[in-house]
Amino acid sequence: MLNNLIDRIKLPFRKDKELYSALYDILGFYPRKITYYKVALMHKSLGHRATAEELKVLEGKNKGGNSRKDEKYGKKGKKGNQRDKKSRLGKQLNNERLEFLGDAILDAVVGYIVYRRFPGKPEGFLTNARSKMVQRETLGRLAKEMGISKLIMASGRSSMHNNYMGGNAFEALVGAVYLDRGYAACMQFWEHRVMGKYLNVDKVAYKEVNFKSKILEWTQKNRVNIDFRLEEQSMDKNGSPTFIYTVVLEGVDGCTAEGFSKKESQQRASEETLKKLRGDGKFLDMVFAAKTERTKMEETPVSVAPDVTAEADDIVIEHHEDTDDGALTEIEQHIDDLNLDDVNTKPAEKSREDIIAEAEAQAYQEQ
């Protein structure tokens, strides 16, 4: 509290007082070395070149001692280091190194909070809860809600098209806090500024993300064939069944994962495959190349259209008129060839009187 009061008194005399105020609203305390935070907010698209003052702060050259004496000593005894420093001057400076550091710090901070908040929960639950809190999408939303995204220095085009810029800046900012104020300040920032106000830890931890549904939706939209191949089904040392599945897209193997059920295994494999689709351009190209090969015959157009008049030729009966030379038609010729031998005549039917007479005669003979 006393340090914040002193920093507030100094604020009107600060060179970057607007940035100090904005960071105070986000972090809950004033920065001590503003250079860390400036670099944390520099996207590589900005093309910023490192200055001697920035390198001095980032490499910790201003921690105690006499700078003039250090510079003199460097000239006499450490010419190699001095040449190395000069070689770094003017090179592009961005937040990627701080992003790397902040990612590691966040894993430790959030891991400890999750461990303490959910006593008795197994390792798998804790790992999933932490991963959902520190994933790029979550950090990107936090950066937007907390106002970090507005402070990012980048080219206009990159800020419009880079969906991960906010999440990366969030991690870099945590790295800057760690270098400026230490691990305790990072814990304080997450517990008092992020949790509760911007992030419902319990809701996130118990939220079930259906990654299999997400990858099925993606394949349907892009008309990509998908299959879940069972690699192995066995028992672990405790006798519990385990399953290993691989996601296969158009015959191209994606990621493989193990779980204690088919659903869990397929979910994990789907999650890792989705990450691979987003982060591995070569894998994505292989999937669509295989799709193109599969659909090549289906998509090849028929060059010649069918003849629509051919079927109509036999539905009209044509009548031919007699020619002038008196030629007979086929039916007339057939009739002309017939004679009396070809006609089968039936016997004449008997009259009633004849039948009675024949019956009487036959009866008389039998007597």
DSSP-assigned beta bridge partners for residue 243: 233, 259
Nearest-angstrom CA–CA distance, 362 and 367: 9
Integer Cα distance of 157 and 147 in angstroms: 19
- How many CB atoms lie under 10 A from the CB of residue 37? 27
Q: In what order do the strands lie in the sheet with 226-235?
A: 226-235, 241-249, 252-259
CB 254, CB 246: distance < 8 Å: yes
CB atoms within 10 A of CB 96: 15
Residue with tokens 């937007």: 144
Q: Are 293 and 285 in contact (CB under 8 A)?
A: no
Q: 233 has which bridge partners? A: 243
Q: What is d(CA 54, CA 60) in angstroms, rounded to the nearest whole number?
A: 10
Distance from C-alpha of 108 to C-alpha of 105, rounded to nearest angstrom: 5
CB burial readout 190-212, b (16+ within 10 A) else e? beebbbeeebebeeebeeeeebb
Per-position DSSP letters for 111-168, written without gaps between them:
HHHHHHHSTT--HHHHHHHHHHHHSHHHHHHHHHHHT-GGG-B--HHHHHH-TTHHHH
Enumerate residues 6+ apart whose C-beta is below 8 A from 88. 50, 55
- The secondary structure of 17-60 as a DSSP string is HHHHHHHHHHHSS--S-HHHHHHHTB-GGG-PBPPHHHHHHHTT
Which of the residues are catalytic? 103, 171
